[in-house]
């Protein structure tokens, strides 16, 4: 049985990816800040704030499985004009979206090397479609792409594929409005499954995934991201 390690799979996109992998016969380990406490076969969650290096080190001690698939998913979105953005929101964004990704990769690459596994980095369209009030989110997702691209070069000759997914709008929760046009978390999970099932020599280091028919609208700011 293969094992996937996912950050932040108690809800939202991470939970959808988790469900697809469980259905596919993977064992899934979640590094979750908030435990979902769901009792699901082959699903284990470890309480872990990925912005806290010590938390990740402690989590790693508990994990005895070999890791075949590492998915860097956990992320936060803090939207404010840079002049009004609080230092704490800036730091939380960098510490979660960028430092957290680095901590997990830094500590788990050796596990992935044991299996010649795959690494999926959940990025966002915000790495290329910037918008006002997006300073903290856009810049950390763009930096994350830089990290993914360097890692790609470092690991390709170890037979490890690193894929950065630049994702459009995802229906990560029920907002009580019609949002079925968005990507469903499980649909992104299906895309991931297809990427990793390709013959190992076929490499998709960067993939743009978006809903086919976004709503047409003239909104501003973050809302614009939903219409590309």
Sites of contact with ligand NAP (CB under 6 A)? 7-8, 10-14, 32-34, 49-51, 73-76, 96, 100, 122, 124, 167, 169-170, 172-173
> Rounded to an integer, what distance in angstroms lies between the CA atom of residue 48 and that of residue 219?
36
Q: Give the residue with the Cβ less far from ligand NAP, 146 or 200.
A: 146
Helices marked H in the chain: 12-23, 53-62, 87-93, 101-115, 135-155, 185-197
| Closer residue to ligand NAP in complex, CB, 181/198 | 181
Nearer to ligand NAP, 117 or 134 (CB): 134
Q: Which is nearer to ligand NAP, 115 or 204 (CB)?
A: 204
In angstroms, rounded to a whole number, what is the distance separating the alpha carbons of residues 210 and 222? 15
Closest approach of ligand NAP to the CB of residue 46, in Å: 10
In the complex, the smallest distance separating the C-beta of residue 62 from ligand NAP, rounded to whole angstroms, is 15
Least gap, CB of 150 to ligand NAP (angstroms)? 19
Q: How far is the CB of 174 from ligand NAP (least distance, A)?
A: 11
Residue 11 C-beta: closest distance to ligand NAP, Å: 5
- To ligand NAP, the closest distance from the beta carbon of 8 in angstroms equals 3
Least distance to ligand NAP from the beta carbon of 51, Å?
4
Q: Which is nearer to ligand NAP, 113 or 131 (CB)?
A: 131
Cα distances from 16 to residues 1, 12, 39, 134, in angstroms, run 20, 7, 15, 25
* Cα dist from 132 to 138, 209, 214, whole Å: 10, 22, 20
Contact 18, 26 (CB under 8 A): no
Q: Which is nearer to ligand NAP, 49 or 68 (CB)?
A: 49
Nearest CB to ligand NAP, comparing residues 96 and 111: 96
Q: What is the 3-state secondary structure (H, E, C) of 109-141?
A: HHHHHHHCCEEEEEEEHHHCCCCCCCHHHHHHH
Q: Is 134 exposed, middle or buried (0-12, 13-18, 19+ CB in 10 A)?
A: buried
Question: How many C-beta atoms surround the C-beta of residue 170 within 10 A?
Answer: 22
d(CA 74, CA 207): 18
């Amino acid at each position: 049985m293969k094992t996937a390690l996912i950050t932040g799979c108690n809800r939202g996109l991470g939970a959808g990816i988790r469900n697809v992998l469980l259905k596919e016969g993977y064992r899934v380990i979640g590094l979750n800040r908030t435990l979902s406490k769901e009792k699901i076969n082959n699903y284990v969650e470890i309480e872990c704030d990925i912005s806290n290096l010590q938390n990740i080190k402690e989590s790693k001690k508990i994990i005895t499985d070999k890791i075949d698939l590492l998915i860097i998913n956990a992320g936060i979105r803090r939207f404010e004009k840079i002049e009004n953005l609080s230092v704490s929101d800036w730091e939380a964004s960098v510490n979660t979206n960028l430092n957290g990704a680095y901590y997990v990769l830094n500590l788990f690459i050796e596990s992935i090397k044991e299996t010649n596994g795959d690494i999926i980095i959940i990025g966002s369209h915000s790495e290329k479609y910037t918008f006002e009030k997006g300073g903290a989110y856009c810049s950390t997702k763009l930096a994350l792409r830089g990290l993914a691209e360097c890692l790609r070069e470092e690991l390709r000759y170890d037979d490890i594929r690193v894929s950065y997914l630049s994702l459009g709008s995802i229906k990560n929760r029920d907002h009580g409005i019609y949002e079925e046009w968005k990507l469903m978390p499980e649909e992104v999970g299906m895309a991931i499954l297809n990427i990793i099932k390709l013959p190992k020599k076929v490499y998709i280091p960067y993939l743009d995934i978006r809903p086919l028919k976004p709503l047409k609208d003239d909104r501003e700011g973050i809302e614009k991201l939903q219409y590309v």
